[in-house]
Structure 1
């Protein structure tokens, strides 16, 4: 279970992360991330949200994934995997993990690999190596 402070619960926050955040798609899931500061062209940053809040994560598992039993199993697997990786997200980050239909038969290891690949693509697994 995620700590209460790390849960994304408001639909406005889900929408904000999905519309304004960056995304990384994989075969079984899509990760949407809105960081508290957005990079600018001059290598500075622009504040988007309050970075004093902890990182918060939400999950979207539609009926396309399967029946209620399957959807809840996928949600539990993803919640457990995200809890282990929560420290990789900077404070103030909003993240939404959207499960795709191939997530239903996937093992936790496969979902974990997809989640790690998405975090790497968004440069959240290690410090960003950029020109600035």
Structure 2
């Protein structure tokens, strides 16, 4: 599980990221991201609604997503707030499919940072 400093915890931060952030769509989840200073730690939030399934299924999806994010943090991902909104299809997906989709979304977020850093 990501450390507290790597989690979006306040409702206002969730709202800000979802409303003002850039969006990456996918079959299993929607990713919202707001770029911050590269020196800041990356923060992640997860929205898994009842449409995904019962509590056991929702928690399984959340644990899988947190595990994938933890791996990405160890590789040096930083400077962004990211909120994942799981779609009902995530309940039927296996770990590899979920990992592939989240990695694709986070790769796109990293590409957004490159032009922003070049302009600075």
Deviation at residue 54 of structure 1 after TM alignment: 1.5
2:31 corresponding residue in structure 1? 31
Structure 1 residue matching 2:96: 3-state secondary structure? helix
TM-score by length of structure 1 reads 0.78
What RMSD over aligned residues (CA atoms) do the two structures have, in Å? Answer: 2.3
Moved over 2 A (4+): 86-91, 125-132
Partner of 2:5: 5
Of 79, 96, 99, the match for 1:112: 99
Distance across 1 between alignment mates of 2:31 and 2:10 = 18
Separation in structure 2 between the aligned mates of residue 125 and residue 78 of structure 1, nearest angstrom: 21
What secondary structure does 2:78 align onto?
Answer: coil
Q: Which has a greater percent of helix?
A: 2
Count, aligned residues: 117
CA contact (8 A) 1:65 1:101 kept: yes
Q: Which residue of 2 aligns with 1:46?
A: none
Q: Which of the numbers 77, 84, 102 marks the counterpart of 1:89?
A: 77
SS at match of 1:128: helix
Deviates more, 1:81-90 or 1:95-104: 81-90
Is the CA contact (8 Å cut-off) linking 1:35 and 1:90 kept in structure 2?
Answer: no
Report the CA distance between 1:121 and its aligned residue: 2.8
- Give ranges in structure 2 of 5+ residues lacking alignment: none
1:33 deviates by: 0.5
Q: Which runs of 5+ in 1 are unaligned?
A: 38-50
